[in-house]
Chains A and B, each alone.
Chain A
Amino acid sequence: MTETSEDKRIRRKRAAAAVGALAMLVAMLAALPWLVSDYSLSLLLNLICYLVLTIAWALFSGTTRLVSLATSAFYGVGMYTVAMLIKVLPLYAAFAVAIGAGAVLALIVGVLTLRISGMFFVIFSFGLSEMMRELMVWWEINQTHTMGRYVYVDFSTTKIYEHMLGLGVLVFLVGWLLRRSRFGLALLVIGEDETVARQVGINVPFAKVAIFIVSAMFMTLSGALMAPRFGFINPNFAFNPLVSFQVVIMAILGGLQQLWGPVLGVIPLIVLSEQLQTEFPFWYSVFLGLVFMVIVYFLPRGLTGLLEDGWAALGRPLDLPRGFSGPLRDAWALLSRPISLPRGIAGAIEDRWIKIMPRLTEKR
């Protein structure tokens, strides 16, 4: 089907409207620091920071389908590099060094593990943050004889927020371009079937390592930007495994099919964590774990998938062959049936699983 000039014109108009709306949104967000309270601003900053981390995570894990649990390692490297260099370098130079450090770490990890098998990469990413924490503690105690560093620098929360917003726009842009490029397509093929990818001539290790480095650089920079926000930083604080965990949940809750999917995951979880984390930190961990398992089992395509299904259902005509009383009569029949558990409660649960699971998975 060829595109007529009319179609083209409509498409251009739509694109212009979308870009305009996004620009307005960004401008509004950028103006917020002068409109809201300090508390709301710190909440917003947290939100944008996690948005950057989650979209950066999705750049790599959403396309190649390799679950990276190393977010906090890069976030921590960014934060701690700035904390270490703040006294000897100007702030922006410290940011630059931090990005470099994150990229080098990603290169080493990527070249060593992504080349061989996805499993090795996951295992390595699982422990990377913990190992970096150990190494930093060792370095600080034995070489510099300090434990933790003070970051006093003239860089207000508003400035951090504006920089983080800029980073957010950038990571969105990268994600958008990636979806429209040959490189992005190559990554999707790798995620779908690596053997096929190799057969059609994609340089698989190069593609994987390259996108891993890009994603890691965003994570590192967001950690670096956050460093001036906390007066005192020690390795245990910088390399917090909860960061990795939250990012994975947010990304999967939001769904990875759409670029804006992570937004739907980040907002509810940040609001919840603000409510729960300070007062009931351990319940928060339990709760996060449960939410995560529910998503893995019942919402494999995240909230975006749910929305898409809902949208599709709205477009379909209502299907009630026996009228409105049909479902009611079915429900009554179900309720009035005697309870029989030939294989016990465990058997009943198992039957339920069998009934529920394939239906959800078929739609993937």
Chain B
Amino acid sequence: MPAIEVVLGGMILGGLYALVAIGFNLQFGMARIVNLAYGEFLMGAAFAAFWMFTLASINPLLGMLASVPVTFGANWLVYRVLMMPLVRRARTRQELEGETILATFGLLFVLRGLATLAFSADNRYYDYLGQPLQIFGFTFAANRVLAFAMACVFTAAILLVLNRTRFGTALRALAIDPVGAELVGIDVRALSGIAFAGGGALVAVAGTLVSTFLTFNPAIGIEFTMKALVVVIMGGIGNIGGSLVAGLLLGIAEALCSYYVDSGLTLAVAYALFLIVLVVRPRGLFGTA
């Protein structure tokens, strides 16, 4: 039964997309920043894992202990230094979205150019847990399974924090109504900074996981940003569970397409899925209002 194997393979990829999209949703849905440079931090983390593994043979999972906090800090700085002025001067949410799109679009080219200067445009690859693994009679590469497992762990952790803690409740309030959140005593700006940085930390996790099983170069960031955008819109802005489901859906659709049609059409699949959702359910998969 190849179809089941394809779907399972798609779910593994989808788990990763869900993780990337949840991070993006923290930045977009909660901090209200459309960060087009989001994927560049994924690329940065992938390179960090690559260099740590090839130069010092540090296990990528251990390497995350360094790269994730660094990316968290870097994103917090991006929010405080670069986004705060825009947040202050924007009068409406639309205006803020427009301005942040422009500013982070510039940031995208800066980060990508710097990465290309530092690491060259070559494709990179390293072998970590490449051996096959048998699960329920199907064969998968061990690093993909590990990536899926890690993505599940982090997604579950985020969902637990959001739904079971006071801090998470405040974050959800922020997603629903920033003005109301401020009225009940939530420090909206500080919390937005943390949500933005948290999104960055998640994308660093995703970047490390991606680097274990995909070839990458300084230009991969933009593709993940686009997919994250599509998934977030499909699942609903600010809706973390929606991102999870939509991410899995995208992974499966992509796997089916690359098996039955062509593996080079991943972005076309994402956009086709996006269009179908737009036409059938303009408010997103789980949209109410």
Give the distance in Å from the alpha carbon of A149 to the alpha carbon of B36 in the complex.
33
Give the distance in Å from the alpha carbon of A127 to the alpha carbon of B224 in the complex.
11
Are B89 and A65 in contact (CB-based, < 8 A)? no
Which of A288, A293, A354 has most B Cβ within 10 Å?
A: A293
Question: Considering only CB atoms, which chain B residue lies closest to A286 in the complex?
Answer: B113
Tell which of A118, A137, A284, A297 touches B94, judged by Cβ atoms closer than 8 Å: A118
Please indicate the chain A residues that have their CB under 8 angstroms from the CB of B110 in the complex: 285-286, 289-290, 293
Please indicate the chain A residues that have their CB under 8 angstroms from the CB of B222 in the complex: 130, 241
Are A67 and B106 in contact (CB-based, < 8 A)? no
B: residues with CB less than 8 A from A are 34, 36, 80-82, 84-86, 88-89, 94, 97-99, 101-103, 105-114, 116-117, 222-223, 226, 229-230, 233, 262, 264-268, 270-271, 274-275, 278-279, 282
Please indicate the chain B residues that have their CB under 8 angstroms from the CB of A134 in the complex: 264-268
Given A124-B274, A127-B226, A289-B113, decide whether A353 and B102 contact each other with a Cβ distance below 8 A.
no
Are A292 and B114 in contact (CB-based, < 8 A)? no
At the interface, is chain A mostly helix, strand, loop or mixed?
A: helix
Please indicate the chain A residues that have their CB under 8 angstroms from the CB of B265 in the complex: 134-135, 138
Are A289 and B103 in contact (CB-based, < 8 A)? no
Give the distance in Å from the alpha carbon of A134 to the alpha carbon of B229 in the complex.
18
Give the distance in Å from the alpha carbon of A112 to the alpha carbon of B114 in the complex.
36
At the interface, is chain B mostly helix, strand, loop or mixed?
A: helix
Please indicate the chain B residues that have their CB under 8 angstroms from the CB of A288 in the complex: 106, 109
Given A123-B233, A285-B116, A358-B88, decide whether A252 and B102 contact each other with a Cβ distance below 8 A.
yes
| A131 CB–B CB distance under 8 Å | yes
Are A289 and B230 in contact (CB-based, < 8 A)? no
Tell which of B80, B84, B106 touches A290, judged by Cβ atoms closer than 8 Å: B106
Given A116-B282, A282-B117, decide whether A123 and B102 contact each other with a Cβ distance below 8 A.
no
**Known pairs A118-B98, A126-B229, A138-B262. 13 more at Cβ < 8 A?**
A67-B98, A116-B282, A118-B97, A131-B267, A282-B116, A284-B113, A285-B113, A289-B113, A293-B82, A349-B81, A350-B84, A358-B89, A361-B89
Tell which of B84, B105, B223 touches A130, judged by Cβ atoms closer than 8 Å: B223
